Amino acid sequence: MRKLNQIVGAVALMTVACGPGPQEGGETTSAESVSQSVVGASCDPSLPQPSGCGYGEYCSTATSTCVDVAPAECSNFATYPPTWNKVVGQDGVRGPVIYSVTPVLWGPHLFCMSDRDTVRARVKVYATQAGELPSTTETLAFDFFRPSGSVIAGNLLITGYSMSNNGQSAEFNLSICVPPMTTTITMGLRALNGNSVCATFNK
């Protein structure tokens, strides 16, 4: 297995300064706590995200302050550009927020055929209400956007799904198959009524 290095760019804020993964038990984040923007305010990254930060924000482990999720500015969304924003969500509905996409592996893996490399990332997301995120991937509403702009159901690419914090936190592996000669790939991921993210990885 070859170690991944994430390139510097807009996604760096999301992947390097992201908070910890969902935790079983502990304090529960209420819908009221993710309503008002508090960018720059102090927060506790050891708590479930967004850890008192506003909707569309998360608590940075690097600074222990609230920061915005990174904007989705890759060509994956050229055909279906994001219209979500942190003020009203998507058409007035505040869906789940993807706040972290970090590399896990790039290389041979049973997820793909032997003539393809598996590129895998760990995705972390939070919701505004208890029970909003499902306990299994069958009803998980995420779309994956290829670099070409085509879209497939994200739950077909998901393994290692874990839900916690009364259905307000979840994380999972997202895997895709690429030719072995590929050296750079950009993933696009969008939550239903939630934000879109771009994550670019180098082999």
Which pLDDT belongs to residue 34? Answer: 57
Across 121-150, average pLDDT: 95
Across 59-75, average pLDDT: 96
Are the beta carbons of 127 and 58 closer than 8 angstroms? Answer: no
User: Domain 5-16+70-202's class?
Assistant: mainly beta
Q: Give this prediction's pTM.
A: 0.82
How many other C-beta atoms can be found within 10 angstroms of the C-beta atom of residue 75? 13
pLDDT band with cut points at 50, 70 and 90 for residue 82? very high
Q: Which of 32-36, 42-46, 82-86, 106-110 has the lowest mean pLDDT?
A: 32-36
Ordered by start, the domain boundaries in the chain are 5-16+70-202
Are the beta carbons of 120 and 174 closer than 8 angstroms? Answer: yes
On the question of pLDDT at 8 being above 60, the answer is no
Residue 128, amino acid: T
Which pLDDT belongs to residue 32? Answer: 45
On the question of pLDDT at 14 being above 50, the answer is no
Q: Both ends of the chain: CA-CA distance in Å?
A: 11
Dihedral angle of Cα 134, 138, 140, 143, to the nearest 10 degrees: 170
pLDDT band with cut points at 50, 70 and 90 for residue 36? confident
Across 13-27, average pLDDT: 36
On the question of pLDDT at 15 being above 80, the answer is no
Are the beta carbons of 96 and 88 closer than 8 angstroms? Answer: no
